[in-house]
Amino acid sequence: MTATATPSQTTAPDYTAIKQRQQATWASGDFSVIGTKLQIVGEMLAEAVDLRAGEQVLDVAAGNGNATLAAARRFAEVTSTDFVPALLDKGRRRAEAEGLDVHFEVADAEALPFEAGSFDVVLSTFGVMFAPNQARAASELLRVVRPGGRIGLANWTPDGLIGRLLKIVGTHVPPPAGLRSPSLWGTEAHLVSLFGPVAHQLRVERKLFMFRYFSAAHFVQVFRDLYGPTHKAFAALDAAGQAALERDITGLLNEFDVGGGRGLVAPGEYAEIVITVG
């Protein structure tokens, strides 16, 4: 009698539970303090997609609104969305301070509450890349942009500073089983797999954002206090684990530092992506 092998079964990630955990992560600390420092990325992305006055623009996983503000400053009609209401409130206050007319709406990147083809341009800076169901999030971006419209993304790369930082965090506090790395959104091959079949054109350009802090210790303290993923990781560890995580992050920063001893200057590589929908 010969035994018949049965195929191994893998359990799909519980995306609902993961998103609830992510909401708590991004609501912790105060990402807006770090987020505002990334404003230049939103400005450059608005230029990369050749944004025009009067266009209907959706900012997905907008955080505190860097791409939102960049688009509104160019007289676009902007809808800013995120699944963390507190971050949208920060973006709303920024827009009000500049007298910009922006519509803010709480929304899940994997289930956007808009009709198909509603927007000329869809943007996301370091946001949608963290959606747990990556294929679903990409399909939603494609669904809500009109034929001939553009999708503009800024995503951390796997080998850049933040991509490496996320890997370090994952070795100390492992992510949920089956969850794909968000940094895959910073690779051309993965972007082609997500968008290629319906993209008329897909352009990926590597860029650098310079993280500027007093020192590696200053960076670690700010990210420990304010950046959701590192804030939660430190909170989940005992004293020895926290010391080990701090040591590994400090080593990473020293590896990237090009400041020459006059403050930390660490280049963070990201991919600037422009997709023209067919």
Each residue's pLDDT tens digit in the chain (278 positions)? 333 334 444 577 888 888 888 888 998 889 999 999 999 999 999 999 999 999 999 999 999 999 999 999 999 999 999 999 999 999 999 999 999 999 999 999 999 999 999 999 999 999 999 999 999 999 999 999 999 999 999 999 999 999 999 999 999 999 988 899 999 999 999 999 999 999 999 999 999 999 999 999 999 999 999 999 999 999 999 999 999 999 999 999 999 999 999 999 999 999 999 999 98
Q: Which tokens hold the place of 132?
A: 């747990």
Task: Quickly list H helices, 5-65.
Answer: 15-27, 31-35, 39-48
Q: What's the sign of the alpha-carbon dihedral 100, 103, 105, 107?
A: negative
Q: What's the sign of the alpha-carbon dihedral 86, 91, 94, 99?
A: negative
For the chain, the residue count is 278
Of all residues in the chain, what percent are helix, strand and coil, respectively (each to 5)? 45, 25, 30
The predicted structure's pLDDT at residue 178: 85
Q: What's the sign of the alpha-carbon dihedral 222, 234, 215, 210?
A: negative
Architecture of domain 21-210+267-277: 3-Layer(aba) Sandwich (3.40)
- Coil/strand/helix, residue 193: helix
Q: Which tokens hold the place of 19?
A: 């998103």
| Rg of the chain, C-alpha, whole Å | 19
pTM assigned to the model: 0.93
Q: Which tokens hold the place of 170?
A: 């994952």
Nearest residue to 140 via CA among 121, 105, 113: 113
Residues 120, 142: Cα–Cα separation, whole Å: 11
- Residues 121, 51 contacting (CB under 8 angstroms): yes
Residues 216, 96: Cα–Cα separation, whole Å: 34
- Residues 259, 147 contacting (CB under 8 angstroms): no
The predicted structure's pLDDT at residue 7: 43
- Count other C-beta atoms under 10 Å from residue 68's C-beta: 32
The predicted structure's pLDDT at residue 6: 40
Instruction: Label the pairing between strands 199-213 and 102-106.
Output: unpaired
The predicted structure's pLDDT at residue 216: 98
Residues 157, 268: Cα–Cα separation, whole Å: 9
Tokens 């699944």 sit on residue: 83
- Count other C-beta atoms under 10 Å from residue 14's C-beta: 14
The predicted structure's pLDDT at residue 16: 87
Amino acid at 82: D
